[in-house]
Each structure stands twice: as structure tokens, then as C-alpha cells.
Amino acid sequence: QQQQQQQQQRQQQRQTRGSPRKRQSPSQKSFAARKSQPTTAFKAIGPGCRFAMLSMISQSSLRTTREARRRSGWRRGRTSVPSGSSSRCTLQCPCRRSSCGAWRSAGWMSGIGRLEQLGMVGGGQLVGDPFANDPERHPALRIHSRKPCNAEVPSELIDLNYITPSALWYIRHHHPVPVLHDPENTFRLSVDLSVLNKGIKELSLAELRALPQHEVVATMQCSGNRRKDMSKTKRTSGTYWEQGAISTAKWSGPLLVDVLKAAGVSDQEALDLSAEGAEHVCFHGIDSMSASIPSHKLSSRQGDVILALEMNGEPIPRDHGFPVRAIVPGVVGVRNVKWVGKVQLSKEEALGDWQRGLNYKILPPSVGDAKQVDVRKIPAMQEASVFSAITGAEQGPASDEGTNFPTFDAKGWAWAGGGRGIARVDVSGNGGKSWTPATITQGHDQKPGREWAWVFWSAENVVTVPREDGTVELVSRAVDKAYNAQPEHPETIWNVRGLGNNSWFRKQVPLE
């Protein structure tokens, strides 16, 4: 009983310690209302400021966001942010005229420099809303921001299908969705082998399709999934994802190593690219996003790293990377670069904040201010750890132990990075004092070491302890096949960017 009291106290402390930001979620509006929102609600970067336009376009040649910002003359300013934008930090046009409506979020600074390629520039002038050509999204998605689009799968839809329908996939964009004109004839994938002194080769979509096609079923998850839970302890920065920044698809396309060979890498070089000076493979999106993976990921064909041309049996939808997306199974979402225009072997990691900046680096819990640490020494996120979540729970009869202990059936998903696969899922109705083993219902038949996709699970007759507020708490936790366990509390893994929250999943369920 004493333990129970202690637990309640701790629970209360947790609840009062910090409260998450509250704001009206865009998903609370109806889809029709959202759809009818005119794009003119956004201030256009128009002919009013030619300076802005030119300055932005020229940045495609700059190398890093920081450098871009310094050289561009764009400064943090008090320019009002258009409604509906998720950007909390904006940069002011270098013209410094108060009449200039040009604005830009610091977030997609390095990206917007290539708008010309994205078909946003007409007749030498930048017109309208750069997001105006973004595709329509499924009304069921829970939108966190529209420009750029960030949207998660509602928990009740996550495990409706083992393979998530493409239209229901979570979306995590940094930029407007590129518009390609006649890609079948004009798109060329650059393969930059300069580090091997083999120059740059270009491959058309037809040439990529002519290579042996490889199929892989993989789950992908945003590094910030479940950030909202982590932020209950102490505020973090980034989108407050619940559990839905995760989805699974069947991807197909050539193995990346086959693409490299088609571009001139020899069989011998491909065995150990790092020994040839190519320790990293960089993916450059045509939206200007860049990220890289260590080249040892390609050392085995069983690593299943592909350049996907199809998603769930069809050409990849624009929102998910048409025409070419890097699929690096078992690795966090951000390395699975969409709209890949260039693949580059490199001695170094990709440039830019997504690889080298704070955005995808887990700082120690002791660090509240990023200036306290040397970010270069912190490894960028690559393989994901082990996660689980409860998607639904249904009350059953009271347990044999007495009517004070209602039982619940629960279900959900679990996933581990690195192809490690799930060894076990446990569910608790008493905060982890005892556990009911769950049954894996789907996904248990994956190849060892290549378990790229999630499992679905269900647990029956979990005995719960009702709380004073008329709810019970169900807890899930998974163990991967290297016997990595989910940590108990988000507090112990808290980090300022709110990344990698794989703490035990806790779901409050009202009693009937």
C-alpha cells in the first residue's frame, strides 16, 4: 500500500512538474474548412522585392545553413509570421524595408534556395505561395503544421493495416513538395563518385528501373516520435508528435550498391567503401534537404538499402519522395531522404543541420542549452532503438482477484531499429509491478537480422489498478532481440530536442 501511495505521489509530481504547450490543433478544424483556406492568406514573395528573390535563389551554391544565413544577409527579425505556419523563428529580408513582405522560416532556409528547380519561379519572378502545389492530404491525418506539412497517423488508425496505405502515411517535410516537369524525360539521378576519382554519372528513371529490383517491407519512424510525452517533464523543441509519426510500406527499387556499381564503382570497391575513402553516402534531395549514412550500411546486400521507385506497388506518391527515395531500413526517418536528386560518396558526413546540427542529435539530459556542448562530438542519429505503443484497450470482466481489479485487453505495435526485431512485448496494469506477456499477432515471420518492419501485438486479461480519477493506466514495453529494453521514464532520457523517446508507453483509459 505504501508503494502505491508513493506511486501516486510520483504521478502527481509528474503531472504538475511541467505542462505541455496547449494550442488549438489544426486537425480540430474540419478537412473541408482547412481545404478552403485560401493560399493568399500567406504573404507572397513577389516582385516587390527582387533582392529577396535573387538572394534566395543564389543560395543553392552555399554549403551550410549557418554559412548561408551569414552570407545571405537574412537576419532574425520581427516580421510577422503568416497564420498557419509552424515556424516560430523567421528571418527578415536583407532589403530591410518595412514594406517588404518577404519572409522565410529559419527552418527551411537552405532549402528554399532551389525553388527555381521546383517550378516555383516563373518568368524570372517568384510568385505566390511556395506550398501552393503541395498535394492534397488524407482528411484522417492529424496535421501538426501545413507549411511545411507535418502530419501523424491517429493512434486508432496505426494498426488498422500492417502495411500502412500510402495515403495514411505520416508526413514530415522540411520544405514545399517539389514539382517535377516531365520527370520521365528530364529527371536524372546524379551519382557523385569524385571521392573515388570516378567523376559524376547520371542515371535516368528508365536506367534505374532496368537494374534488378529489390523489395523490402520496412517501418519508418520520425526521430521525434512521442516527443509530446517527453515534453511533459520539461519543454523540448520540435513538433509535439504523439505515437503516430510511424508507418510501414513495401518499397521496391534497385539496391543502392547496384546503382553505385552501375555508375562505375567496382565490385572490389563495393566490398569496403570506407577503405576506399568513402566512409559516408550522402543523399541530396531536390528540395535541398541533405543527409547521409555510414557506408558500411552497404557492405551487405542483406542490409537492404535501396533507392525506392515504388511504394506499396505504385510509383511513390509526391508526398513520400517521387520519383526516387532513399530507403535505409532500421534507420531513423530523416536518413530516408525523399526526392533524391544526387547520391554522393564522401569522406565526410553530409553538410547541413539535418546531419551535423542539433536537429537530430541527442544531447545529454544535463544540457538545457545547446551552447554548452560541442555538437560535432555528438553522433547524429542513425539506427533507431526499441519502441512500443498501445493503440487500443477494451475493458473486460473483473479479475478473479476481486471486482476492484478490472481487466483489459490491449493491442498495439512494437518496432526496433537495426533489423534487430522484437523478442517480446509486456503489458502492465499496475505501473510495471507485474507484467502480462503479449502475443505477437503480425510481423513475427521476418528474416533474422533483417526485421525491418514492426510487429503488432495483443495482450489479454491485463489486471489493472483503478485510480481515483476513474481511469487505469496501461503500460507497454518491448524488448528487442539484442535484449535492449525500453527505459522506464522519459525523464531519464530527456533531451532538449525531444528525440528518441522510447520510454515505456503509458496509456490512461477511463473505466466503464
Residues of this chain that bind a copy of itself (CB under 8 A): 2, 6, 9, 271-272, 274, 279, 294, 296-297, 299-303, 362, 364-366, 378-379, 381-386, 417-418, 420, 423-424, 426, 432, 434-437, 447-450, 479, 481-489, 492-493, 499-500, 502
Cell 539506427 maps to which residue? Answer: 383
Closest by CA to 426, choosing from 395, 462, 398, is 462
Spatial distance between the Cα atoms of 382 and 292, rounded to a whole number of angstroms: 9
Based on CB atoms, which residue is closest to a copy of itself, 333 or 417?
417
The answer to whether residues 277 and 270 touch, using CB atoms and an 8 Å cutoff, is no
Based on CB atoms, which residue is closest to a copy of itself, 89 or 271?
271
Based on CB atoms, which residue is closest to a copy of itself, 273 or 337?
273
Based on CB atoms, which residue is closest to a copy of itself, 218 or 386?
386
Residue 271: CB minimum distance to a copy of itself, A: 6
Residue 278: CB minimum distance to a copy of itself, A: 12
Residue 72: CB minimum distance to a copy of itself, A: 33
Residue 480: CB minimum distance to a copy of itself, A: 8
Based on CB atoms, which residue is closest to a copy of itself, 127 or 440?
440
Residue 450: CB minimum distance to a copy of itself, A: 7
Single-letter amino acid code for the residue at 82:
P
**Degrees, nearest 5: CA angle 421-422-427:** 165
Residue 78: CB minimum distance to a copy of itself, A: 37
Spatial distance between the Cα atoms of 267 and 184, rounded to a whole number of angstroms: 29
Q: How many CB atoms lie within 10 A of CB 372?
A: 11
CA–CA distance from 71 to each of 58, 62, 110, 359 (Å)? 11, 9, 12, 22
Residue 68: CB minimum distance to a copy of itself, A: 28
Structural element, H or E, at residue 52: helix 50-58
Based on CB atoms, which residue is closest to a copy of itself, 45 or 427?
427
Cell 533531451 maps to which residue? Answer: 495
Strand, coil or helix: what is 361?
strand
Got the DSSP string for 127-160? -S-TTTTPPP--TTSEEEEEBTEEEE--HHHHTT
Residue 312: CB minimum distance to a copy of itself, A: 24
Based on CB atoms, which residue is closest to a copy of itself, 215 or 272?
272
Closest by CA to 290, choosing from 300, 278, 299, 280, is 280
Spatial distance between the Cα atoms of 376 and 65, rounded to a whole number of angstroms: 15
Based on CB atoms, which residue is closest to a copy of itself, 389 or 493?
493
